[in-house]
Structure 1
Amino acid sequence: MKQWISDFLNYKKNYHNLSSRTIKAYHSDLSLLADYCLNQEVAFPEGIILFINKLNQEDQLKISSLKRKLITYRMFYKYLTSNELIPRNQQFEDTRISYPKQKKMPKTLRISEINHLLSTMYTRVQSNAISAYQRKNCTRDIALLELLISTGIRISEASNINLNDYNLSDNSLLIHGKNSKERLIYLSSTETKQAISSYLNIRKDYRPVDHSLFINKYGTRLSIYGIEDIFSKYLKIANIETTATPHYLRHTFATELLNNGANIREVQELLGHSSIVTTQIYTEVSMERKRHVLNTYNYRNSMIIKTSK
Structure 2
Amino acid sequence: MNKNMQQFLAYKKNYHNLSNRTIKAYQSDLVALDHYCSQHEVTITQGILALMENLHQATRLKPTSLKRKMITYRMFYKFLVTKKIIERDSEFEQYRANYIIPKKMPRTLKVRDIHQLLNCMYQRLTQPATSVYQKRNGVRDIALLELLISTGIRISEASLINLSDYDLVENSLLIYGKNRKERMIYLSSEEARQALLAYLAIREQFQPKDQSFFLNKYGERLSIYGIENIFTKYLQLAQIDTKATPHYLRHTFATELLNNGANIREVQELLGHSSIVTTQIYTEVSIERKKYVLNSFNYRNEMDVKTSK
TM-score over 0.5 (shorter chain): yes
Equivalent residue for 2:227? 227
Equivalent residue for 1:125? 125
Aligned mates of 1:176, 1:51 — CA distance in 2: 35
Gap runs ≥5 in structure 2 = 7-23, 33-49, 72-93, 296-305
**What per-residue deviation string (whole Å, max 9, x for no partner) do you get for residues 133-190 of structure 1?**
0000000000000000000000011011111111111201111111111111111111
Task: State the percentage of identical aligned residues.
Answer: 65
- Find the structure with the greater CA-based Rg: 1
Aligned mates of 2:53, 2:205 — CA distance in 1: 60
- 2:169 alignment partner AA: S
Aligned mates of 2:230, 2:272 — CA distance in 1: 24
- 1:112 alignment partner AA: R
Deviation at 1:53, TM superposition (A): 5.4
Q: Give the structure-1-normalised TM-score.
A: 0.68
Pair 1:267–1:51, CA change in 2 (3 A)? closer
Equivalent residue for 2:174? 174
Aligned mates of 2:224, 2:213 — CA distance in 1: 13
Tell me if structure 1 keeps the 8 A contact 2:106–2:282.
yes
**1:158-307 map, 5 Å:** 158-287=158-287, 290=290, 307=307
Deviation at 1:284, TM superposition (A): 1.4
Equivalent residue for 2:112? 112
- 2:158 alignment partner AA: A
Pair 1:190–1:307, CA change in 2 (3 A)? same
Aligned mates of 1:69, 1:166 — CA distance in 2: 37
Deviation at 1:128, TM superposition (A): 1.1
**What per-residue deviation string (whole Å, max 9, x for no partner) do you get for residues 26-82 of structure 1?**
8xxxxxxxxxxxxxxxxxxx9x96994598xxxx863124557999xxxxxxxxxxx
Gap runs ≥5 in structure 1 = 1-10, 27-45, 72-93, 296-305
- 1:104 alignment partner AA: K
Count of residue pairs brought into register by the alignment? 244
Aligned mates of 1:50, 1:176 — CA distance in 2: 38
Tell me if structure 2 keeps the 8 A contact 1:52–1:70.
no
**What per-residue deviation string (whole Å, max 9, x for no partner) do you get for residues 79-100 of structure 1?**
xxxxxxxxxxxxxxx9864122
Tell me if structure 1 keeps the 8 A contact 2:159–2:222.
yes
Deviation at 1:102, TM superposition (A): 2.3
SS at match of 1:112: helix
Deviation at 1:259, TM superposition (A): 0.4
TM superposition outliers: structure 1 runs of 4+ over 3 Å:
48-55, 65-71, 94-97, 287-292
Tell me if structure 2 keeps the 8 A contact 1:107–1:248.
yes
Aligned mates of 2:225, 2:68 — CA distance in 1: 24
